[in-house]
Structure 1
Amino acid sequence: MKKLNKKYLWLSGLASVLLLGACSSESTDEVEEPVEAEGSETDEQVLNVQLDVEVASMDPQIATDGTSFEVIANIIEGLYQTDSDGKAIPALVESAEKGEDGLSYTFKLREDATWSNGDPVTANDFVYAWRRLADPDTGSEYSYIMGIAGLVNANEVLDGEKAPEELGVQATDDYTLEVQLANPVPYFESLMSFIPFFPMNEDFMDEVGDSYGTSPDTLLSNGAFTVSSYEPAATSIELDKNEDYFDADSVVLDGVDYQVIKDSQQAMLSYQNGEVDVVTLAGEQVDLFKDDPEFVNVQAGYLWYISPNTLVEGLENENLRKALATSFDKQQITDTILKDGSVPADYIIPDGLAVGPDGKDFRETSDTYLEFDPEAAKESLEAAKAELGKDTFTFGLVVEDTESAINVSQVLKSQIESNLDGVTIEIEQMPKKTRLELMKQGDYDLGLTRWGPDYADPMTYADLWVTDGNNNDGSWSNAEYDELIASSINGELSLDNEARWEALKETESILMNEAGVLPVYQKGNAVMMQDNVSGFDFHAVGLPRVYKFAVKE
């Protein structure tokens, strides 16, 4: 049998426990080895992928999480896509002309791209989608990224001062898209492979209205796959190859089937039984399978951190936030709980994200902050108690109901309470979508959350914490920080790459020194992938996983 013996030992051991638990009055001398799932042998190349959280939204301009982005990217494409090296390459773009001053782009679109209802994909589909993204009435949490992209009038549209029609994008004919920028944006083409900039069919949106993305009939595809089975919060999603996709000849898979399995033991059982081809490992599983030839370990760009709600009594205090930030051992979390290649984060801009004008990674020439230091944590807490006139504090910690998030939160609670006398942490676990909604509403104390990089530049993190920013859930605010970010996006600093790079280092220093957020770890991905699967791309920036060129033999 092709699986390693230690896998069967693990599975058989688990089966024994389950059997004894169900029939405690009986005994057994042997346990049968697992068999291949019925129907697993098929001529169809359908990739079965485990997810540990549900898809939150199938709407490109509304979705905010990596899981939703991953599924959306399988059915819709934008101007650019990401290659195996993480670089932006043309997708719907046939040719691109950049103005000499870097303030304009003219994109000629492919004329052989169609939506799954037969409509051609046109330049107006981008104009409509981008105006929709920027329109305050849409309520997109990613609307701010239009300002990051530097389009003319973007900020005025976002603020409701100008109409979406005044945004710096227009269709001069069916297949020509012209973009005007207020300032040069060195990562603009990279941004164009990011989901919020994907096109939408205006006529179809008018037809389905608010029901968009609630069923296969209310979804359109112009990408490698179409949706054959889906409903909101579904635990399974089925995609079929899109035979009308302009690059269908490059797609070998007949489909992708997603299964939401939150429990890591159940997920591994499904993998062993051949029911899933790709599964994420957690905790002790990593030690057990790390030497298996089917084990894959990838350093990701996701940064997990605690977001303190500074509007909650006590958490407005900088010393209390610093006490919390330095009271837990990140190394223990990564080495004994996660074991998946994750590393402690004494920073908020991830390692390996972007290279500066000096040719060096951002982290290579930047400082570290908020290291685990229980004595310093105690000193900060005493200062906070004196400043606040209180000796005890109780805070809720909202976490999603995935195994890794729950395990990490339990360590955080244990160590914070052990190292900070008078501080109590109450874990509140819930589905990811609920956690995101509560944090967005500001209805929380502390939130264990994450951010994945949308493009290869420190700004993809730095702009999160500007005052009143869409993703500044904790409402932290610093005027100097705001000024540096604004200037780096469309001010004087945006015209000087070296000065801008140094300014972004300064913004990280300001945020960390005030403990505006409390970094925990940079994510690693420990994955098992069946040995008959190849061509599966893992990315640290933008989309975590891409299946377009995957093959299942």
Structure 2
Amino acid sequence: MIKVKKFMALLFSLVLVLSLTACGGKNAETETGNAGTDTPAATEGTDDGTATDNAGTDTAGGNVLNVQFDVEVASLDPQIATDGTSFEVLADTTEGLYTIDASGLPALAMAEGVQKSDDGLTYTFTLRDAKWSNGTPVTAADFVFAWRRLVDPKVASEYSFIAEIANIKNAADIIAGKKEPSELGVTAKDDKTLEVQLDVPVPFFESLMAFPSFMPVNEAFFTQQGDNYGTSPDTILSNGAFKLTSYEPAATTISLAKNPDYWDTGKVGLDGINYQVIKDSQTAMLSYQNGDLDVVTLSGEQVEQFQSDPEFHNIMAGYLWYISPNQKVKGLENLNLRMALALAYDKSAIVNNILKDGSIVADFAVPTLLATGPDGKDFRETTGTYLSTDKAKALDYWKKAQAELGIDKLTYTMIVEDTESAQNVAQFIQSEIQTTLPGITIKIETMPKKNRVERMQSGDFELGLTRWGPDYADPMTYLDMWETGNSNNYGFWSNSDYDAIIESAKKGELALDPAKRWDALKNAEKIAMDNAVIFPVYQKGDAVMIKSGVEGIEFHSVGINRIYKDATKK
């Protein structure tokens, strides 16, 4: 049976009352390569980190899973990667202290034991006997090195903030340049003992430890590879269930083979995984029907055709798709204009007529089925909805904006990644806005996802159709994005009341009172929505075809979207 993550009773119920259930994250997309071909030789190395050729590992054959991606892998450096596609491959090849089990709960991985102090501020992990794919042992020092990289301002990781979310001691000051990375609250007591100190208790800390940003890196190997680290099988080490046999940046095919050196390799059912980046849904489905793919994602146009097929599966994902307005662009600083744009397009038509994949209308910033509060209820059950489609109100807001800005017409360009579904949604929104708000022209500029993300991170955009997937099971995985100065605050919005709530909920008085914290986060979402910081569009559902005989793929809405360790193929 396919295992679908049940998020409702997750970490919030476990710990934040301790009740909390909570990346980033994101998805990603090109021409097809032939599945089932022999892959290049895997690489091994000596203890000093020198990579050497291994006897060729053949990942062809019946026990290799062939999976479609619709966007390219952006990075296989765990401290640099920011998107769900990269996270998925990292989870195949690299293992942190914890993983997430089939039910969505954190389970020990590289750590075989943990002791937590009574005050919740110190975790002491005992590492199991495990090896990197070059034969060197995985040690506590590998975690120390990786985590210091994560917070080092010189590295400038886009995910450095997650160390602050984890409240690792001194992380915030190090990221701000006030302290040195060596002062981070993580210490290798010996090769097998890792001590982590926190500034304040974090109920979902163990869940965070399964996130790719906290995966270990072997320092000697990393140093030897230099700028080439993570760019090919020769420049990547694995301590996970699989190891890379074929990869290069922006590759359209990525091949992995079962890692015989993995500590739990006996439980790994597949001999390998072949990923193919295919952006066109028709091409992808033809490959599936021809037997070249085992797992493929359908577009909205294909759902009606295949939804009665026994190999069809509908899976609710955690991704929130939204439009981010850059408030440094003239006009978009005006609240009435932002409100007009946010209310002008029919979200129901998007999910029902374009996507048709189980996606739902998003009238919120924090998705449904993400986090359970101290009251045992999903965050969305006891809070409001915002920015619902209302074309008449949108026109009224547009007229107010015209008067305030002293203009009759405006033209903005919306940047969009070059996936089929993203372009279809963008074109519909373009038509809706231009029809609802006479005088506004929306142009669309398409590009690979990596470029779209880079443009938005640098502020080189006007409107951007983007998405965020939850990194951990708590509303903060969304809400802290819009704090002043956050690297994911693409629109450069700033609100002191909002900032105060977020900071207190992370490490202040609210952090120590789960019920008050929960109510405060609801208020924070309302502030953001009332200010139209983003224009929500939909919460993603996935329509997936999975070949009969393939079992054990775990689908998750938080962190890593798909995990294959327990997958089998008959």
CA–CA distance in structure 2, aligned partners of residues 37 and 255 of structure 1: 12
Q: State whether structure 2 residue 100 is matched by structure 1 residue 100.
A: no
What is the aligned partner in structure 1 of residue 82 from structure 2? 64
Contact (CA 8 Å) 1:396, 1:444: kept in 2 or not?
Answer: yes
Match of 1:170 among 187, 204, 227: 187
TM-aligned CA deviation for residue 37 of structure 1: 9.2
CA–CA distance in structure 2, aligned partners of residues 455 and 159 of structure 1: 23
Q: State whether structure 2 residue 152 is matched by structure 1 residue 135.
A: yes
CA–CA distance in structure 1, aligned partners of residues 91 and 60 of structure 2: 26
Q: State whether structure 2 residue 208 is matched by structure 1 residue 191.
A: yes
Deviations 1:38-61 (A, max 9, x none): 989975410000000000001100
Deviations 1:426-481 (A, max 9, x none): 00011001101100110000000000000000000011111110111111111111
- Map of 1:193-272 to 2, 5 A cutoff? 193-272=210-289
Moved over 3 A (4+): 36-44
Q: State whether structure 2 residue 490 is matched by structure 1 residue 473.
A: yes
Change (3 A) 1:42 1:221: closer
**Letter of the 1:489 counterpart:** K
Match of 1:522 among 539, 542, 558: 539
CA–CA distance in structure 2, aligned partners of residues 223 and 57 of structure 1: 17
**Letter of the 2:90 counterpart:** I
What is the aligned partner in structure 1 of residue 414 from structure 2? 397
**Letter of the 2:82 counterpart:** T
% of aligned pairs identical? Answer: 60
Contact (CA 8 Å) 1:37, 1:273: kept in 2 or not?
Answer: no
Q: Which has the higher contact order (CA 8 A, sep 6+)?
A: 2
What is the number of residues matched between the two proteins? 517
Contact (CA 8 Å) 1:327, 1:377: kept in 2 or not?
Answer: yes
Q: State whether structure 2 residue 201 is matched by structure 1 residue 157.
A: no
**Letter of the 1:327 counterpart:** A
CA–CA distance in structure 2, aligned partners of residues 432 and 236 of structure 1: 17
What is the aligned partner in structure 2 of residue 47 from structure 1? 65
Gaps of 5+ in 2: 1-33, 39-58
CA–CA distance in structure 2, aligned partners of residues 256 and 37 of structure 1: 10
Change (3 A) 1:417 1:176: same
Q: TM-score, normalised by structure 1?
A: 0.92
Match of 1:484 among 496, 501, 504: 501
Deviations 1:221-243 (A, max 9, x none): 00000000000000000000000
CA–CA distance in structure 2, aligned partners of residues 96 and 120 of structure 1: 19
Change (3 A) 1:42 1:185: closer
What is the aligned partner in structure 2 of residue 384 from structure 1? 401
Contact (CA 8 Å) 1:224, 1:548: kept in 2 or not?
Answer: yes
Give secondary structure in 2 for the equivalent of 1:137.
Answer: coil
CA–CA distance in structure 2, aligned partners of residues 303 and 277 of structure 1: 26
- Map of 1:341-360 to 2, 5 A cutoff? 341-360=358-377
Change (3 A) 1:222 1:327: same
CA–CA distance in structure 2, aligned partners of residues 37 and 50 of structure 1: 10
CA–CA distance in structure 1, aligned partners of residues 361 and 406 of structure 2: 33
Larger radius of gyration: 1
Q: Give the alignment's Cα RMSD to 1 decimal.
A: 1.4
**Letter of the 1:474 counterpart:** G
Give secondary structure in 1 for the equivalent of 2:173.
Answer: helix
Give secondary structure in 1 for the equivalent of 2:154.
Answer: helix
- Map of 1:373-522 to 2, 5 A cutoff? 373-522=390-539
CA–CA distance in structure 2, aligned partners of residues 356 and 200 of structure 1: 35
What is the aligned partner in structure 1 of residue 97 from structure 2? 79
CA–CA distance in structure 2, aligned partners of residues 517 and 275 of structure 1: 40
TM-aligned CA deviation for residue 343 of structure 1: 0.2
Contact (CA 8 Å) 2:35, 2:66: kept in 1 or not?
Answer: no
- Map of 1:279-358 to 2, 5 A cutoff? 279-358=296-375
Give secondary structure in 1 for the equivalent of 2:446.
Answer: strand
What is the aligned partner in structure 2 of residue 16 from structure 1? none
**Letter of the 1:362 counterpart:** F
Q: State whether structure 2 residue 127 is matched by structure 1 residue 109.
A: yes
